[in-house]
Chains A and B, each alone.
Chain A
Amino acid sequence: MTLLQTLKNAVRKRSIHVCYVNTGSCNGCDIEILACLSPRYDIEQYGIYVHNNPREADVILITGAMSAQWIDKLPDLWDKVPEPKAVVTIGNCPISGCAFNRPGALIDPPVSKYIPVTAAVPGCPPRPTEIISAILGVADILFENYETKTEEKP
């Protein structure tokens, strides 16, 4: 591994920019992500910064069960995120629709139909600690030696 690559790995591990996108959630998962910002959990000590701007994001957190309004907008948003990038879905809704997945509901889960999902955190809603550990777990695998990876990019 070159010196430059070692440097890049070290820097990327400590600089994960997160954007959360609510695609029809009930707010429960969103405020658990917000709770991660509080000094008790202190997400910034791990080098994770919540900016909520897709154009500077590394990790997109998706909450919600994919409402009809987002079906064309979410792939657009995903295209705007610069590489390397990953999607972590938070909660049961992006996986299965949770309690909303009933005939007649205006949702179309799962989110993985529209954009590639790297990891999913189940729970209704998951605890802030689970969200932090999921982001850290994804970042280690995804962003290490990103340039030299030969396999298909996620």
Chain B
Amino acid sequence: MKKVVDVSLPIGPVHPCFKEPARIKCETAGERVIATEVELGYVKKGIEKIMVGRPWQETIFLAERVCGICSVVHNTAIVGALEKISGIAVSPRAMHLRIILNELDRMQSHLLANYSYCYTIEHETLAMYLLNLRETVMDAIEIMTGTRIMAAYVVPGGVREDISAETAGKILDAIGHIEAELPRFVQMFATGPLIALRSKGIGVLSVADAKESGVVGPTARASGIARDAREQEPLYAGLGWHMITRSEGDNFARIMLRFDELFQSAAIIKNALAQLPDGPVRLGGRVTAGRTTHTIEAPRGDLTYDIELDENGQVISVAIQTPSIMNVEVGSHAMMKNLASAADVTSTFISTDPCIACAER
């Protein structure tokens, strides 16, 4: 069949809706968008390449700088891989602290994702409420680790430093504030008629498409695929984690799923602080030669590190598989097809929470 294209509409790389440079080429017929193509490569730095030949101590800092939004999870993933290679034990208290920090990181990432979506559909009031709430989470991260982003808190054998009872109290206060404020904003989003017009039934990712494309994270769970790497970690189940899925697969479902996960993360942090065992936070160990693959759940989906070390602890080869690359591609192949309006392209793209820095590294 011959395809009739009126205008090829480029969006980006510098665009008011995008946090990061990406270019979306849209083929339009009138206002309807027939097909899109996402062009990446604007922030490629070659981090995996410069990790090779470096001692493992340096790769921790480089891994953190793969992504500034989810720096904690990259730190946890590479340290987890190093521990798996060398058989280094982690104390129970350090495991709990890692989970607390990872869930705080997930909360700020989800709040930022939902802020971006609300900003893209021009609901700036709700967007600013969410962005302000994110600052509360950033404060909790800062109290816990000493800095807002790039904390390098997770080290092989445990975490960098312990938290005091006072710090734990402040984190609980922050979580309490979020749990008190957030239901109002979720209510605003769930019942807003104009939000529903811009979100419900738009950018639908069917279960068949989702299964075929290997989509991960909240984008997959919003399409009814029960896939979450946290189920591999036995500690999470004890802290009240359970799989959250939705069946609609549209923009609305993806954002509401992130709101649901925010409440779940808050509950996990509260449980982890209540059950926090005593003991040391940092055990000894030596990083040895070997190769392994380690997967954990980043805010956007499965994050996998495949790393090989020699006997001196230097990196022979490293490969990072980040969640965003699958979600961005499925966006252009399944979600952003036959959209009624060109304005829905950016909101659909943002609803998958694309992290271009992660995807390109």
Contact = CB atoms under 8 A, between A and B. Distances in A.
Interface centre among B18, B61, B131, by most chain A C-beta atoms within 10 angstroms, is B131
A52 B71 contact: no
Contact of A38 (B13, B14, B43, B131): B131
A27 interface: yes
A19 B101 CA distance: 32
A67 B47 CA distance: 12
B20 A27 contact: yes
A96 to B, nearest CB: 14
Interface stretch (A2-10, A29-37, A114-122, A134-142): A29-37
B128 A27 contact: no
A25 B43 contact: yes
Interface residues of A, number: 43
Nearest to B43: A24
Contacts of B62: 99-100
A109 to B, nearest CB: 11
Range of interface residues on B (Cβ < 8 Å) = 35 or more
B65 A99 contact: yes
Given A106-B44, A106-B45, A29 B68 contact: yes
B148 interface: yes
A35 B135 CA distance: 8
A139 B357 CA distance: 30
Given A28-B71, A53-B16, A106 B46 contact: yes
B355 interface: yes
A100 B135 contact: no
A28 B149 contact: yes
A69 B357 contact: no
Interface string A31-52: 1101101111000000000011
B46 A125 contact: no
The main secondary structure of chain A at its interface with chain B is loop
A98 B62 CA distance: 10
B69 interface: yes
Given A26-B357, A35-B134, A38-B132, A67 B43 contact: yes
Contact of B68 (A31, A65, A100): A31
Contacts of B188: none
Interface in B1-28: 13-16, 18-21
Contacts of A77: 14
Interface centre among A21, A38, A68, A103, by most chain B C-beta atoms within 10 angstroms, is A38
Given A30-B20, A103-B50, A125-B150, 14 more contacts: A24-B42, A25-B43, A25-B68, A26-B71, A26-B357, A27-B68, A27-B355, A31-B69, A31-B149, A35-B138, A52-B16, A69-B44, A100-B45, A100-B65
Interface of B: 13-16, 18-21, 41-47, 49-50, 61-62, 65-69, 71, 112, 115, 128, 131-132, 134-135, 138, 148-150, 355, 357
| Ranked 8 nearest A-B pairs via Cβ | A28-B68, A27-B68, A38-B131, A102-B50, A52-B16, A106-B46, A26-B68, A27-B357
Interface of A: 19, 21-32, 34-35, 37-40, 51-54, 64-65, 67-70, 73, 77, 98-100, 102-107, 124-125, 127
